[in-house]
Amino acid sequence: MTTPNESTAAAQPSSESVKGRWDGVDVHFGEEGGRLTYGSYLRLGQLLDQQHLESDPPAHDELLFITIHQVYELWFKQILHEMTASRDAMLSGELWRAQHLLRRVHTIERTLTQQVDILETMTPQDFGEFRHRLSPASGFQSVQFREIEFLSGAKDPSFVRRFRGLSEAEKVRLAQRLEEPTLWEAFLAVLGEAGFETETEDDIRGALHKVAHDRSQFAAVWELAEALLQHDELAAAWRARHVVMVERMIGTKPGTGGSSGAGYLRSRLDLRYYPLLWSLRSSL
């Protein structure tokens, strides 16, 4: 006769039986397995060892500055992941998936803008304690940010020529982005699949006008166009928020990478990835 504890134990599958149900794969869950942990999965040892201050003595706010920009780069990586998949979904006719992934991009872009609030808790005096250590590094040199612009449709080969600090791997990445289809080119393929001509800008304007006025037939195409426009608007909002933050922090001083600082950033405020989607508004 078994005790209640023995009966309970007998009802529980052994580790060997669990493995058997997983076709012999050595599966370990949670702390009991003792192999994959939260820290090891996220590589926290390496991740948290990447914030190296240049100031000496250490400036208190330099850690914040480094952390914010590293987080930006992580989000840029995710945005590129989603935008690339969205473009490929458009090219394969999966419009629902393309729109779904762009909505995720929108949410991340709102987060990027909100992060400026954290950076602005640093005063100009605090930034001045270590800013001189940053030269010639500059946010202008963010390769992933340029990839986002290229993939969005604003391809600028001159960036690759002007920036001499690129590694060979970064040059390859940017060259690939310059060659591969953009989100806009993928959207034009969607219009083509819907039966529209897209050879000229007038063709595209006519197609967009038809789509906008017949949303019952072209609902998926219209929603995708709106998702692209939302991406464009949120990117513009981030640029505008960024330039004001820079002006608040350093005024009219030159950028650390040799650019004109806020002046250069202001010159980018009128950038639009999809001008035909914006001009469509005037005819609706």
Spatial separation of the C-alpha atoms in residues 73 and 150, rounded to whole Å:
16
pLDDT of residue 36 exceeding 70, the answer is: yes
Round the average pLDDT of the chain to a whole number and report it: 87
Q: Is 65 annotated as a binding residue?
A: yes
What is the average per-residue pLDDT within 246-268?
A: 69
What's the gap between Cα 109 and its chain centre? 7
In a domain, 36, yes or no: no
Expressed as residue numbers, the domain containing 102 is 59-283
In a domain, 45, yes or no: no
In a domain, 1, yes or no: no
Domain harbouring 157, CATH code: 1.20.58.480
Q: Is 67 annotated as a binding residue?
A: yes
**pLDDT tier at 216, thresholds 50, 70, 90:** very high
The Cα-based distances of 255 to 132, 137, 141, 163 in angstroms read: 11, 9, 12, 15
Spatial separation of the C-alpha atoms in residues 256 and 253, rounded to whole Å:
9
In a domain, 274, yes or no: yes
| 196 touches 213 (CB < 8 A) | no
The Cα-based distances of 142 to 70, 133, 189 in angstroms read: 11, 18, 30
Q: Is 69 annotated as a binding residue?
A: yes
pLDDT > 90: percent of the chain: 68
Q: Is 256 annotated as a binding residue?
A: yes
Residue 146 CB neighbours (<10 A): 24
Q: Is 100 annotated as a binding residue?
A: no
> How many Cα atoms occupy the beta-carbon half-sphere of 141 within 13 Å?
15
Q: Is 213 annotated as a binding residue?
A: no
What is the tens place of the pLDDT at every residue in 138-194? 666 889 999 999 999 999 998 888 877 889 999 999 999 999 999 999 999 999 999
| 35 touches 28 (CB < 8 A) | yes
pLDDT of residue 12 exceeding 80, the answer is: no
pLDDT > 70: percent of the chain: 82
In a domain, 20, yes or no: no
What's the pLDDT at 267? 75
**pTM given for the model:** 0.84
In a domain, 48, yes or no: no
Q: Is 250 annotated as a binding residue?
A: no
What is the tens place of the pLDDT at every residue in 59-91? 999 999 999 999 999 999 999 999 999 999 999
Which residue in 268, 113, 240, 133 sits closest to 259, CA to CA? Answer: 268
What is the tens place of the pLDDT at every residue in 195-215? 999 999 999 999 999 999 999
| 261 touches 246 (CB < 8 A) | yes
**pLDDT tier at 19, thresholds 50, 70, 90:** very low
pLDDT of residue 257 exceeding 70, the answer is: no
Counting the structural domains of the chain, the total is 1
In a domain, 145, yes or no: yes
